[in-house]
């Protein structure tokens, strides 16, 4: 069955430390891949997306993600976390033949220690 | 440019009632999608409308319905409310409705069913 997995439900990092959030997908073909962030009481904001080409994608707010076909992964990274990055992060996939329907992972809640 | 707006932001209903939620997309966007977000099930796709036509539908019972108007505004309706319908309902708009297109999310309507 097609699925998106975010193995880490909660992650806590210290401000200034690096961050990596994991995302794995299970689809027959390479899907379109997205990372969204949701702050408390807010909707979702797109951080970055991958369709094809360069496997390292740059996004907003200093985030980047790397697509690894062999591992079916699309992990999100940031070299130095700021307190304002505390939020919930969602990995999502879309398929070319499914309009813009997105399937989301369960999310990872990031907490930032001062 | 104004973002996606959703009204109302909060709703309290009782079991058995029905409810209508509204979504106004970004000006010029023709695709509107709806998602349900709950702590237990996460983010789940409800349906997508493009140019007043439903293009995709998620795995929800027929009590969940929607429509889109000629100005791209969309409404979703839930009839015979159940306790499990308590959720944050998010709508998203995009220009073309293609998988590659960025979707912009509204802040959501939080529905509480008592």
Tell me the per-residue pLDDT of A52-67, one tens digit each, with 9 for 90 and over: 888 999 999 999 999 9
Q: What is the DSSP letter of A3?
A: E
- B66 touching chain A per CB within 8 A: no
Residue B5 distance to chain A (closest CA, Å): 10
Helix (H, G, I), strand (E, B) or coil at A17: coil
Predicted pLDDT of residue A48:
96
The beta strands (E) that lie in chain B are given as 5-7, 10-13, 19-24, 31-38, 42-50, 53-57, 64-68, 74-78, 87-94, 104-105, 109-113
pLDDT at A61: 95
Q: What band does A99 get if pLDDT is binned at 50, 70 and 90?
A: confident
Supply φ then ψ for residue A101, to 5 degrees. Answer: -65, 130
Q: What per-residue confidence (pLDDT) applies to A1?
A: 65
Tell me: pLDDT of A29 over 80.
no
Q: Which residues of A touch B59 (CB under 8 A)?
A: none
Query: Does position A110 have pLDDT exceeding 90, yes or no?
Result: yes
CB contact under 8 A, A102 and B42: no
Q: The sheet that has B19-24: what strands, in order across it?
A: B5-7, B19-24, B74-78, B64-68
Residues of chain B with pLDDT below 70 are 1
Position A53 scores a pLDDT of: 85
Lowest-pLDDT range of A68-72, A96-100, B106-110: A96-100
For residue A70, give every residue at least 6 positions away whose Cβ sits within 8 Å of its Cβ, in sequence order, or none.
none
Shortest alpha-carbon distance between residue A62 and chain B (Å): 19
Question: Which residues sit opposite A37 in a β-bridge?
Answer: A45, A89
A contact test, residue of B43, B44, B54 with most A CBs within 10 A: B43
Mean pLDDT of the A8-27 span: 96
Q: Quick one: pLDDT band at residue A28, thresholds 50, 70, 90?
A: confident
């Amino acid at each position: 069955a097609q699925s998106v997995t975010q193995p880490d439900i909660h992650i806590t990092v210290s401000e200034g430390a690096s961050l990596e959030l994991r995302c794995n997908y299970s689809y027959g073909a390479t899907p379109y891949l997205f990372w969204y962030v949701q702050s408390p009481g807010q909707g979702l904001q797109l951080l970055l997306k991958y369709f094809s080409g360069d496997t390292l994608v740059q996004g907003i707010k200093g985030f980047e993600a790397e697509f690894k076909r062999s591992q079916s992964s699309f992990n999100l990274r940031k070299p130095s976390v700021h307190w304002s990055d505390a939020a919930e992060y969602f990995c999502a996939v879309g398929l070319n033949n499914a309009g813009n329907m997105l399937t989301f992972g369960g999310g990872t809640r990031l907490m930032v220690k001062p | 440019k104004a973002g996606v707006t959703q009204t109302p932001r909060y709703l309290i209903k009782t079991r058995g009632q029905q409810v209508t939620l509204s979504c106004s997309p970004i000006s010029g966007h023709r695709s509107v999608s709806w998602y349900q977000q709950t702590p237990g099930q996460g983010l789940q796709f409800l349906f997508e409308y493009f140019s007043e036509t439903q293009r995709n539908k998620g795995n929800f019972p027929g009590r969940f319905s929607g429509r889109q108007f000629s100005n791209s505004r969309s409404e979703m309706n839930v009839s015979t409310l159940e306790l499990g319908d308590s959720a944050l309902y998010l709508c998203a708009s995009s220009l073309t409705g293609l998988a590659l297109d960025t979707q912009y999310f509204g802040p959501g309507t939080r529905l509480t069913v008592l």
